[in-house]
Structure 1
Amino acid sequence: PSTRLNIFHLVFLCFSLFSHGSCPVLECWFMKEKVSGGLSGGPNQDKSLLYVHKHADSHRAESHDAPLEVNPDRLYFVTDPAATLCHRSLNPRRGSSNKPMCEINPLHPQPSTLELAVPLTEPALSPIYLHADWLSTALQSFDKTMSISAITRAPTGTKEHDVILTLTTKTVLVQSRLGAPVLLDCSFWADPSSPLTGTGFAVEWRYQFRGDGRLVLAYDGKSDRLSHTGEEGATLDFEALHGRGNASLILQEAKVHHSGIYICSVYLPYLQAQVAMELQVVEPPSLSIHPSPLPLTAQGQTINIQCEASGFAPLSLDLHWEFKGADGNTKVLGSGSLSSHRQLWDGTYTQSSRLELDTADLGRAGEVACVGVHPGGTRRVSVEINLIGNSPSIEDSMAMVGVALVLYGLIKLVSWSFSGSEKRIKTTYVEGFKARRWTSFSLVIQI
């Protein structure tokens, strides 16, 4: 029993040490506020460190010494009860060259001018709570799969920060096939002890692509209503939104025009956090060759073949031709003559390639293939080609000899059958003649 108890204590100790050390020390860049007018002589960013813990009593500022390259004023001690900043993707293995990206900006809380969020700041709030040191921190995991936006607050003149609001996405880059449902992840956590969380929240989704933007969806959590829906088939899971802070955007059916950058924003009174993610709607092409099958062609002639790629998105497509001979060797024939892209009604594209195939050096037979290399995958379609007028192979010669022998045998069989029939006819004639002569001789004697 004592041995089991010692093992239990050892496991518990290891678990406690792991739990205590699970939150990382984040290396960040503190972005200095730009001074209006004049030229800035020094760098506009400083190295800084964030010491993150789940509980306020887990760290003491005086217990940490600043590294030589870090200004002691850029050491921050963050308490994160939700442990959002303690995610394992923010804590790479020791010695790894891949590190999370982290940027800190000073924040000045102020009422939002967005019509959706204006009602949140109607009640009078204590200015004592707002008069503090606020920071906005943007992070991306070392594997580029998660982004976090965190707003922290510290009493003026201190470095002991509390997380007030975090916004997280685990779908930094999403690829979807055309017509499939899409989920763009976005979840938030707000400190329930903060006076800013008692008057409600608001959620906004915006879309941007090549400088153009539009409002996709806006939700007023205070009055529980959708104030704007600018995209058909876009919705939220409202039960999960109020229950777990899940503000993920649901697109019922991915379309080509959905490709772009999506920004999820969450508003509290005087505060806003946002994360961005990219959606790529990728559909590989459908390939077809014309004519198919290819007509029988004499060796040395030129064949015109066309390959059409249709229904693909995005535009990037590499079309080329290949020839695979009877010996198994493959020869690249190039891209042929490419047409311009043409957009279809559903936003997908078509493109064709025309190939003038010289059959002089192709051998007696083979396979012509059209290959399309696309971000959605590689597609190929092939058609057989048979040429006439070339010298027969050994196999063909043996087959011709076999056919000749069979024909010779058939001729001999017919010849033997005809000869036998002729002999039977002659024998019957002679026997009949002899019979007639004997009958005549008998009649003469009787007379």
Structure 2
Amino acid sequence: MKPLSLLLAVASALGTAVSAGPAVIECWMVEDAGGGRLAKKPAALLLRQGPGTPPPRPDLEPELYLKVHDPAGTLQAAVRRYPSDAPPPHCELSRFIPLPASARWARGLTPGRSCPRALDGAWLMASVLSPIFSLSCLLRPQSEPQPEPALFTSATAVLTVLTYSPIAQIQLGQDALLDLRFAYMPSISEAAASLAPGPPPFGLEWRRQHLGKGHLLLAATPGLHEQMPAAQDGAVAFAAWDDDDPWGPWTGNGTLWLPAVQPFQEGTYLATVHLPYLQGQVALELSVQKPPKISLTPAPLVWAAPGEAPPELLCLVSRFYPAKGLEVEWELRGGPEGSFQKAEGQSWLSALRHHSDGSVSLSAHLQPIPVTAKHHGARYACRVHHPTLPTLGRSAEVTLEVAGLSGPSLEDSVGLFLSAFLLLGLIKALGWVAASRSTSKDPKEKKAQ
């Protein structure tokens, strides 16, 4: 049993290591180089390490090799969920300057317009993008001296804004839930400057950008009783701190709920969390979709005489979204050339028909070529490809019957039997009625004699 226990322990350790996500996130430090140009330098976020000092990175400047301390654990929790076989996330670092919120509705967060001296010093904003999560993390490098030569820089994650739904695909007419969570842990100097225990006031802002236009969707400052702009499109946000621990760290929720999503609500959603003089923002992409319904007429059979063309086939592709990306193919299955081939004939598409819910419909037409006896039993199929459908698409089909080659089917045989049975019963009934009438007339005739 000991070897088995050891094997299970090793397997468990390997599973934990695989699911723990990357220990280092490679980044680019992006700065303004003047003249409308940007300068980029390699950087890295060290999230976990083994015993001892961090592994050396001679390819990085020490101030851009950041050993991150995450008191709230939000950044670490997000990275642990990252699949080991997924491409590495995209990460950028930039300089950040603490400033009061510029929006009028958020001015209650910062009664004093000057930034406290406790926030002086260098700040960095890390933006990490991936299909799994999207986050922004406000980092404060530590100023403690290190032994020469310095190999890395320690930094604390002060404010982390995170979403686990960076790409949301919502069915047309259904509700959308755009995930947003955030965590805050003030640095030592901030905590010393603030005498009030408990989480600070915060502001939540959701904006939508689409086709070059943007507008405020929802704004909230819980507990400040400020005059807020009216929410748009029925949007509701769960804006609150999750706990009220006196000294932090604190986590909060800013998830947005949109009822019965329509196509006009597609676009980029910007979620911003405002703290006094600090901000964090993430972007989410929302797209609306609806798979098409497909019907083919005439169905289920189409008739034609040898040498004649079958009647026109109509494939109705109804109630789908988006309108782009739709393709219709006509196939002939089981024909004389083999089990599968492209159907010959003249084909065309109708114009789009728009519906009140934002979905669209169109019809595809095919006028097949004249058929021969070899086409008997073949099937015409209308195959539709659309971004909302699987790779092979979706199809509907009808069976071709060539006149003069079809024997009676089982249904026809049953129908003929039932017809004959009813006819025989009818004849017997008429004979019984006639016999009854003749019998009733005989006694009357005898009395008359």
Q: 1:338 to 1:153 in 2, by over 3 A?
A: same
How big is the alpha-carbon RMSD for the aligned residues of Structure 1 and Structure 2? Answer: 3.7
Question: Cα offset for 1:83?
Answer: 1.9
- Does 1:269 find its partner at 2:286? no
Determine helix, strand or coil for the equivalent of 1:118. Answer: helix
Question: Cα offset for 1:85?
Answer: 2.5
Q: 1:373 to 1:121 in 2, by over 3 A?
A: same
Question: Cα offset for 1:187?
Answer: 0.4
- Does 1:210 find its partner at 2:211? yes
- Does 1:332 find its partner at 2:333? no
Question: Cα offset for 1:53?
Answer: 5.9
Deviations 1:300-333 (A, max 9, x none): 2232122221110011211122222378823222
Contact 1:320 1:336 in 2 (8 A): no
Q: 1:236 to 1:224 in 2, by over 3 A?
A: farther
Higher RCO (Cα < 8 Å, 6 or more apart) = 2
Contact 2:305 2:371 in 1 (8 A): no
Determine helix, strand or coil for the equivalent of 1:116. Answer: helix
Residue in 1 that maps onto 2:88: 99
Q: 1:165 to 1:73 in 2, by over 3 A?
A: closer
Among 157, 161, 165, which residue is 1:163 paired with? Answer: 157
Q: Measure the CA separation in 2 of the matches of 1:109 and 1:87.
A: 26
Determine helix, strand or coil for the equivalent of 2:229. Answer: strand
Matches within 5 A, 1:363-378: 363-377=375-389, 378=393
Counterpart AA for 2:30: M
Determine helix, strand or coil for the equivalent of 1:359. Answer: coil
Residue in 1 that maps onto 2:71: 81
Deviations 1:341-384 (A, max 9, x none): 23221111112211111132561233222221112223322223
Residue in 2 that maps onto 1:346: 357
Residue in 1 that maps onto 2:167: 173
- Does 1:44 find its partner at 2:34? no
Counterpart AA for 2:361: T
Bigger Rg, structure 1 or 2: 1
Contact 1:33 1:106 in 2 (8 A): no
Q: Measure the CA separation in 2 of the matches of 1:249 and 1:277.
A: 11
Q: Measure the CA separation in 2 of the matches of 1:376 and 1:98.
A: 24
Residue in 1 that maps onto 2:150: none
Q: Measure the CA separation in 1 of the matches of 2:116 and 2:179.
A: 34
Give structure 2 stretches of 5+ with no counterpart. 146-152, 245-250, 411-449
Among 168, 179, 184, which residue is 1:185 paired with? Answer: 179
- Does 1:310 find its partner at 2:329? no
Q: Measure the CA separation in 2 of the matches of 1:298 and 1:239.
A: 73
Determine helix, strand or coil for the equivalent of 2:257. Answer: strand
Query: When the two structures are aligned, how many residues end up with a matched partner?
Result: 371
Q: Measure the CA separation in 2 of the matches of 1:147 and 1:112.
A: 22
The structure where helix makes up a greater share of residues is 1
Q: Measure the CA separation in 2 of the matches of 1:331 and 1:366.
A: 11
Question: Cα offset for 1:270?
Answer: 1.6
Question: Cα offset for 1:155?
Answer: 5.1
Identity of aligned residues (%): 28
- TM-score scaled by length of structure 1: 0.72
Residue in 2 that maps onto 1:430: none
- TM-score scaled by length of structure 2: 0.71
Worse-superposed segment, 317-326 or 103-112: 317-326
Determine helix, strand or coil for the equivalent of 1:221. Answer: coil
- Does 1:321 find its partner at 2:330? yes
